[in-house]
Amino acid sequence: MLSPETIKAQVESLVPGAELVVVPNGSTDNPGALLVRGEQAVAVARALREHPALRLDYASNVTGVDWPDQVLREKHRIKLIVEGEEREFEEERERRVPGYLEVVYHLYSMALGHGPVVLRLRTGNRNDQVSLPSLTPVWRSCELQEREVFDLFGVRFEGHPDLRRLLMWEDYQDHPMRKDYSDPDDYEYEPTAHDRVLARSRARQGEGAAS
């Protein structure tokens, strides 16, 4: 299997304007992933599939990863003039690192029998810039898996033929696989006749009658 650096160079020569970043991996399992900017993802994906030395015709695994906003505490040395003389102090400052949602694709080649090449896409943030291009037009196997990522992580895939929730039901609001998700008190709250009966009873018999 080619190294991520080689693949990066080949893809960048094939796709005009493409910029890939190699994301290193701490374990020995694979040498690193390729980070692609959203707007170039489909062109890069097609190049990976068509390239005669790669021929990554099979997208095995598609999944999301949630990286929440982080608050880093950093120490800075500052100089202040205290009582006429300059002294050095240590100050702690907080720095917010914005989080993002990441979609990870594991690509293999059935024709050449090699892989994986790991492709990563990142959203702008976790709230309002959560759109990424869908790679379903390139690999159909992403169809259900991207729906799952949309359902559980809340990434909107532009160009997906049928972007609906996969596992949770349609009216469900939240995205359960996010790290800051908390269970709702009641999953399927539906107003019952119960409250109406109570209200009617109160109206008829005065406040405090049927509490």
State the residues that interact with other proteins by CB under 8 A: 25-30, 57-61, 63, 65, 104, 106, 110, 113, 116, 118, 139-145, 152, 164-171, 176-177, 181
Three-class secondary structure of residue 137 per DSSP: coil
85 membership: H or E segment, kind and range: strand 85-97
**Closest distance of CB 154 from other proteins, Å:** 14
**Greatest CA span in the chain, whole angstroms?**
82
**Closest distance of CB 112 from other proteins, Å:** 10
**Closest distance of CB 89 from other proteins, Å:** 32
Q: CA 140 to CA 147: how far, in whole Å?
A: 12
- Cβ atoms 121, 64 nearer than 8 A: no
**Closest distance of CB 131 from other proteins, Å:** 21
Closest CB to other proteins among residues 12, 115: 115
Closest CB to other proteins among residues 17, 26: 26
Cis peptide before 116 (omega within 30 of 0): yes
Closest CB to other proteins among residues 72, 81: 72
Q: Which of 72, 58, 4, 66 is nearest to 35 (CA)?
A: 4
Closest CB to other proteins among residues 12, 61: 61
